[in-house]
A and B are shown apart, each in its own frame.
With several copies, the nearest count.
Chain A
């Protein structure tokens, strides 16, 4: 789960990483009030889960509360890369003497957390990595050794931070960021820029934060951060139903079990000349109820002209899926054709159940490819 800037900063603050004082605002009036409370010049920052806010006009400086209200008016409702700004973060404006970059990510390849730090912050970090790789210090952490002070020293001295006060503050932030990363079950925490003010104070001016969905059960406070408004309405409805669903642009609705097979089904529909309307994964243990939910989500999309079920049972059982499809047809009025391909655990029983139901808009095909072809044909 990705967090908004203001949510990540809230966690930073909990772990003692310095951030500016700020308030969240959903309306220009709230923005004005926030600026009044904070005092002095403020920055009005769009809270959207995508990059490129600055270039899109989503970050503006405001001299006073009236100006903050005006800037919030300009930003709220803005469409940034498909994300409509609903909230802005108002924070005390910082003077910036230097901009650094600091992050920890979960390196899946090496299977260790990876620190990255450079004094060339504020720009796209990919550019630094490409143009001046020596300026980007990378250091893995052995998760059993855990964070040790030398790690911070290697980063700080390695990147050539020269001021002793900065060295001390940054080393401290590095240690706290590691704790924040581990104890929040983060997959990524990034501070870009990590600024130094003219007075020599170091603080986090932005935050990127991704939390492991599997660990949310032990972080109820972070789980509440979930911004359902940020997602596509169909995807939000799917999430409510517990269905993994990504909206695409075509007309063939797709439902598979398992991410790999579902992805492959999307590919095969394209190979068969069709245009997938979505990616939908029943997951490992799909039962009849899950199938009903998935069909409800898929058929809510008015573009969908046919639905393809591609199920290879393991934990998922073919008979359960068949029962779910019939249950859905009973409950909802689904007029569009449904093509079903069943294999694996209890597939034969499933096919038998579907055959006995003898529904006119239900087509059972023997292979994935044939099922895809049929669904594409029926969508025309």
Chain B
């Protein structure tokens, strides 16, 4: 097993004929991911190194059996791409595109959420289940198969942690970059729930950063719902107080959003928190 992507993944890349879509789509295939189709309106009938291209996601589902979508289209087309994938019956949608307007994502999120679709991103590095499938831009060569589930708001920081873990001889069940935008399709809790249910995952590392209160909420959720050990790293201990969102931000979340506050919330429910990537890797290694 693994979560979100695995050997059953049949991937359609929306925007396969673009330069990034092509580069990463082919990389994903080279890793072993079953890339069954690409979609670029007006280029139906072409192919990208043998991957058939369709005009619409519906065609990719019907003719190529796609069940997972990877979105690489420009920001202003990304919400449309999400709606198209979901309405074509795709159940796992991973959107790499960054700079998607928050209000558009808010509408798309609210529309998609009750449909039982797993939406990851936007503005995320994707999902990698080492040895099974890589969907997105995560450099898979850094990771190896194992029993640690990794979920993170940050892309490159995820690679760093996974790298540190791998250097200690450990591996990952699945690495999920959920993205750091104001509205992302799946939050920490959504992914933690999947890891809790995944028999291959034995430990979970949660990589957070300053701002918002997602980490605090995740801490509460873990204490109430999770049987597997969770470790955490928070980035931004030395960050200067950033721009605040007016006065309202702090009132809403009831949290200051600092790394220290998050650390305390996590530790209060028994989650060990490292202050550097190296430290969190050592904590996991010690527990294994």
Direct contact of A and B (CB under 8 A): yes
Assuming the contacts A124-B247, A270-B238, asked whether A107 and B207 have C-beta atoms less than 8 A apart, the reply is: no
Assuming the contacts A105-B248, A126-B247, A167-B42, asked whether A212 and B103 have C-beta atoms less than 8 A apart, the reply is: yes
A143: which B residues are within 8 A, CB to CB?
103, 106-107, 110
Are A258 and B87 in contact, with the CB atoms below 8 A?
no
Are A210 and B80 in contact, with the CB atoms below 8 A?
no
The answer, among A212, A214, A260, for a CB contact under 8 Å with B156, is A260
Does A335 make an interface contact (CB < 8 A)? no
* Count of B interface residues, CB-CB < 8 Å: 80
A155 to chain B, nearest CB (A): 10
Which B residue's beta carbon lies closest to that of A272? B276
B239 to chain A, nearest CB (A): 6
Assuming the contacts A260-B209, A267-B238, A343-B163, asked whether A126 and B142 have C-beta atoms less than 8 A apart, the reply is: no
Interface string of A250-279 (1 = CB under 8 A from B): 000000111111011011111100001001
Are B80 and A313 in contact, with the CB atoms below 8 A?
no
Does A164 make an interface contact (CB < 8 A)? yes
B99: which A residues are within 8 A, CB to CB?
213-214
Does A157 make an interface contact (CB < 8 A)? yes
A257 to B98, CA, bound (A): 14
The DSSP consensus for interface residues of chain A is mixed
Interface string of B258-275 (1 = CB under 8 A from A): 010000000000000001
A176 to B125, CA, bound (A): 36
The answer, among B57, B107, B247, for a CB contact under 8 Å with A190, is B247
Does B236 make an interface contact (CB < 8 A)? yes
Does B29 make an interface contact (CB < 8 A)? no
B229: which A residues are within 8 A, CB to CB?
none
A246 to B210, CA, bound (A): 15
The size class of the interface chain A forms with chain B is 35 or more
Are B102 and A260 in contact, with the CB atoms below 8 A?
no
Are B157 and A185 in contact, with the CB atoms below 8 A?
no
Are A109 and B125 in contact, with the CB atoms below 8 A?
no
Which A residue's beta carbon lies closest to that of B158? A260
| Contacts of B74-116 to chain A: CB distance below 8 A | 75-77, 79-81, 83-84, 87, 98-104, 106-107, 109-111
Are B252 and A105 in contact, with the CB atoms below 8 A?
yes
A367 to B276, CA, bound (A): 12
Does A148 make an interface contact (CB < 8 A)? yes
Are A150 and B84 in contact, with the CB atoms below 8 A?
yes
A113 to B55, CA, bound (A): 23
Are A215 and B101 in contact, with the CB atoms below 8 A?
yes
B250: which A residues are within 8 A, CB to CB?
126
| Contacts of A161-198 to chain B: CB distance below 8 A | 164, 167, 182, 185, 187-188, 190, 192
| Contacts of A107-140 to chain B: CB distance below 8 A | 107-109, 111-114, 116, 124-126, 129
Assuming the contacts A188-B248, A259-B180, asked whether A215 and B102 have C-beta atoms less than 8 A apart, the reply is: yes
A18: which B residues are within 8 A, CB to CB?
none
Does B199 make an interface contact (CB < 8 A)? no
A109 to B122, CA, bound (A): 16
A40 to chain B, nearest CB (A): 31
Does A248 make an interface contact (CB < 8 A)? yes
B142: which A residues are within 8 A, CB to CB?
343-344
Assuming the contacts A190-B248, A315-B137, asked whether A158 and B155 have C-beta atoms less than 8 A apart, the reply is: no
Which B residue's beta carbon lies closest to that of A149? B80
**Could you list which residues of chain A lie within 8 angstroms of chain B, going by C-beta atoms?**
2, 51, 103, 105-109, 111-114, 116, 124-126, 129, 142-145, 148-150, 153-154, 157-158, 164, 167, 182, 185, 187-188, 190, 192, 208, 210, 212-215, 217-218, 246, 248, 256-261, 263-264, 266-271, 276, 279, 284-285, 311-316, 343-345, 367-369
Interface CB pairs A-B, < 8 A, 24:
A105-B252, A108-B182, A111-B109, A125-B248, A142-B110, A144-B111, A145-B87, A148-B79, A185-B103, A188-B246, A190-B246, A192-B247, A212-B182, A246-B240, A258-B157, A259-B180, A261-B154, A263-B154, A263-B157, A264-B236, A266-B238, A312-B157, A315-B20, A367-B278
4 A-B pairs closest in CB distance: A260-B154, A260-B157, A258-B156, A150-B84
